[in-house]
Amino acid sequence: MSAARWRGLAHLIRDATVHGLHALERTQRAMVARPLAIASAVAPALAPVADAATRIHGAVLAGVHGAVRAGARAAAVVADALIERGEDAR
C-alpha cells in the first residue's frame, strides 16, 4: 500500500474517532439528562442534586472523550511522522 494510502488510513481513523466520539458524547449526555430531568420534575427537592449530577457527568464525559480524541489526534501525527520517515528511507 502506498504512503498516501497509509496516511489516508491514519487520517480516516482519526476523523472517525473524533467525529464518532462527539456524537457518542452528545448521546450519552442526552441519555443521562432525561432520567435526571424526570427525577427533578417528580421530586423538586432533588433538582439541585440532579443538576449537580448532570454537571459532574458532563465534566467526566468531556474529560474522557476529550482525552481519547486528543489521543487519536496525537496518534495520527505520530503515524504521519512514521510514514514520512518510511518514505525518506526508501
Residue 7 contacts other proteins per CB under 8 A: yes
- CB-CB contact of 7 with 79 (8 Å): yes
Q: Which stretch binds other proteins (CB under 8 A): 7-15, 49-57, 59-67, 70-78?
A: 7-15
Dihedral sign for Cα 31, 33, 34, 35, please.
Answer: positive
- DSSP codes of every residue in 9-53: HHHHHHHHHHHHHHHHHHHHHHHHHHHHHHHHHH-GGGHHHHHHH
Q: Specify the residue, 38 or 48, whose C-beta has the smaller distance to other proteins.
A: 38
Residues 36-75 within binding reach of other proteins (CB under 8 A): none
Least distance to other proteins from the beta carbon of 58, Å? Answer: 14
Contacting residues toward other proteins, per CB under 8 A:
1-9, 11-12, 15, 23-24, 26-28, 30-31, 34
